[in-house]
Chain A
Amino acid sequence: MLNLIRNEWMKLWHKKATWIMAGLIVLILIGVSGITKWADSNMQQPGNQPSWEQSLAESKAIYTTQLADPNIDEDTKKQMEEEIAIIDYRLDENQAPATGDSRAQHILDSHVLLSMAILFAVIAAGSIVSAEFSQGTIKMLLSRPVKRWKILTSKYITSLLYALALTILALLATILAGYMFYDSGSMTILDYQNGSVVEVSYWGRVFALYSLQFVGIVIYTTFAFMIGSVFRSSSLAIGLSIFLLFVGPNIVFFLSRYEIAKYIIFAHTDLTMFITGQMFIPGITWPFSVAIISVYMLIFLVISYLSFIKRDVKA
Chain B
Amino acid sequence: MEQQPIVELKQLSKTIGKKKIIDNLNLSLFPGQITGFLGPNGAGKTTTIRMMAGLMKPTSGEVVVEGQTLNEHFEETMSKVGVIVENPEMYKYMSGWKNLVHFARMNKTITTERIKEVVDQVGMQNRIHEKVSTYSLGMRQRLGLAQALLHRPKFLILDEPTNGLDPAGIREFRTYLRKIAAEDGVSVFVSSHLLSEIELMCDRIAVIQNGQLIDIREMNQKEEAHYYIEAQPVDQTREFLVSQGFILETSGAGYITKVEQEKIPAIIQSMVAENLQVFAVQPFRKTLEDQFLEMTGGGQIAESHKK
Which residues of A are interface residues toward B (Cβ below 8 A)?
Answer: 3-4, 6-7, 10-11, 14-16, 135-137, 139-147, 310, 312-314
B107 touches A144 (CB 8 A): yes
A11 touches B94 (CB 8 A): yes
Q: Tell me how far the C-beta of B211 lies from the nearest C-beta in chain A, rounded to whole angstroms.
A: 16
Number of interface residues of B (CB under 8 A): 34
Q: Tell me how far the C-beta of A32 lies from the nearest C-beta in chain B, rounded to whole angstroms.
A: 31
- Using CB atoms, name the residue of chain A closest to B144: A140
B106 touches A312 (CB 8 A): no
B-side contacts of A146, CB under 8 Å? 75, 78, 106
Q: With A145-B78, A145-B106, A146-B106 given, is the CB distance from A10 to B98 under 8 Å?
A: yes
Pick from A7, A11, A136: contact of B89, CB under 8 Å:
A136
B-side contacts of A10, CB under 8 Å? 94, 98, 102
B-side contacts of A7, CB under 8 Å? 102, 105-106
Extra contacts, 13 of them, besides A11-B91, A140-B90 (Cβ < 8 A), are: A4-B106, A7-B106, A16-B93, A139-B55, A142-B54, A142-B55, A144-B106, A145-B77, A145-B78, A145-B79, A310-B57, A312-B56, A314-B56
Provide 19 A-B residue pairs closer than 8 Å at the C-beta atoms, listed in order of the A residue: A4-B106, A11-B102, A14-B94, A136-B89, A139-B55, A139-B83, A140-B85, A140-B90, A140-B103, A140-B147, A141-B106, A142-B54, A143-B54, A143-B85, A145-B76, A145-B79, A145-B107, A145-B151, A312-B57
B91 touches A14 (CB 8 A): yes
Pick from A3, A11, A14, A15: contact of B106, CB under 8 Å:
A3
A15 touches B98 (CB 8 A): no
Question: Would you list the 6 A-B pairs with minimal beta carbon distance, nearest first?
Answer: A136-B89, A145-B79, A145-B78, A313-B55, A3-B105, A143-B83
A14 touches B78 (CB 8 A): no
Pick from B16, B79, B81, B105: contact of A6, CB under 8 Å:
B105
B-side contacts of A15, CB under 8 Å? 93
Cα of A273 to Cα of B77 in the assembled complex, Å: 52
A-side contacts of B108, CB under 8 Å? 145
- Using CB atoms, name the residue of chain B closest to A136: B89
A144 touches B78 (CB 8 A): yes
B105 touches A140 (CB 8 A): no
B98 touches A137 (CB 8 A): no
Cα of A81 to Cα of B125 in the assembled complex, Å: 74
B-side contacts of A136, CB under 8 Å? 87, 89
Cα of A168 to Cα of B57 in the assembled complex, Å: 42
Q: Tell me how far the C-beta of A275 lies from the nearest C-beta in chain B, rounded to whole angstroms.
A: 41
Q: What 1/0 mask marks residues of chain B from 57 to 95 whose CB sits below 8 Å from any chain A CB?
A: 100000000000000001111110101011111111110
Q: Tell me how far the C-beta of A13 lies from the nearest C-beta in chain B, rounded to whole angstroms.
A: 10
Q: Is B231 an interface residue (CB 8 A)?
A: no
- Using CB atoms, name the residue of chain B closest to A144: B106
Q: With A143-B55, A143-B78, A312-B56 given, is the CB distance from A14 to B105 under 8 Å?
A: no
Q: Tell me how far the C-beta of B13 lies from the nearest C-beta in chain A, rounded to whole angstroms.
A: 14
- Using CB atoms, name the residue of chain A closest to B157: A143
Cα of A24 to Cα of B42 in the assembled complex, Å: 48
Cα of A142 to Cα of B83 in the assembled complex, Å: 10
Q: Tell me how far the C-beta of A15 lies from the nearest C-beta in chain B, rounded to whole angstroms.
A: 6
Pick from B74, B81, B92, B106: contact of A135, CB under 8 Å:
B92
Q: Is B50 an interface residue (CB 8 A)?
A: yes
Q: Tell me how far the C-beta of B145 lies from the nearest C-beta in chain A, rounded to whole angstroms.
A: 12
Q: With A3-B105, A3-B106, A136-B89 given, is the CB distance from A143 to B53 under 8 Å?
A: yes
B106 touches A313 (CB 8 A): no
- Using CB atoms, name the residue of chain B closest to A151: B106
Cα of A15 to Cα of B76 in the assembled complex, Å: 32
A-side contacts of B77, CB under 8 Å? 145
- Using CB atoms, name the residue of chain A closest to B56: A312
B91 touches A135 (CB 8 A): yes
Pick from A137, A145, A312: contact of B55, CB under 8 Å:
A312
Q: Tell me how far the C-beta of A49 lies from the nearest C-beta in chain B, rounded to whole angstroms.
A: 56
A-side contacts of B75, CB under 8 Å? 145-147
A4 touches B105 (CB 8 A): yes
Q: Tell me how far the C-beta of B81 lies from the nearest C-beta in chain A, rounded to whole angstroms.
A: 8
Q: Tell me how far the C-beta of A206 lies from the nearest C-beta in chain B, rounded to whole angstroms.
A: 36
B-side contacts of A139, CB under 8 Å? 53, 55, 83, 85-86, 89
Cα of A208 to Cα of B85 in the assembled complex, Å: 49
Cα of A6 to Cα of B91 in the assembled complex, Å: 15
B-side contacts of A140, CB under 8 Å? 83, 85, 88-90, 103, 147
B-side contacts of A135, CB under 8 Å? 89, 91-92
- Using CB atoms, name the residue of chain B closest to A309: B57
Q: Tell me how far the C-beta of A103 lies from the nearest C-beta in chain B, rounded to whole angstroms.
A: 40
A-side contacts of B76, CB under 8 Å? 145
Q: Tell me how far the C-beta of B102 lies from the nearest C-beta in chain A, rounded to whole angstroms.
A: 5
Cα of A136 to Cα of B90 in the assembled complex, Å: 8
Cα of A140 to Cα of B82 in the assembled complex, Å: 10
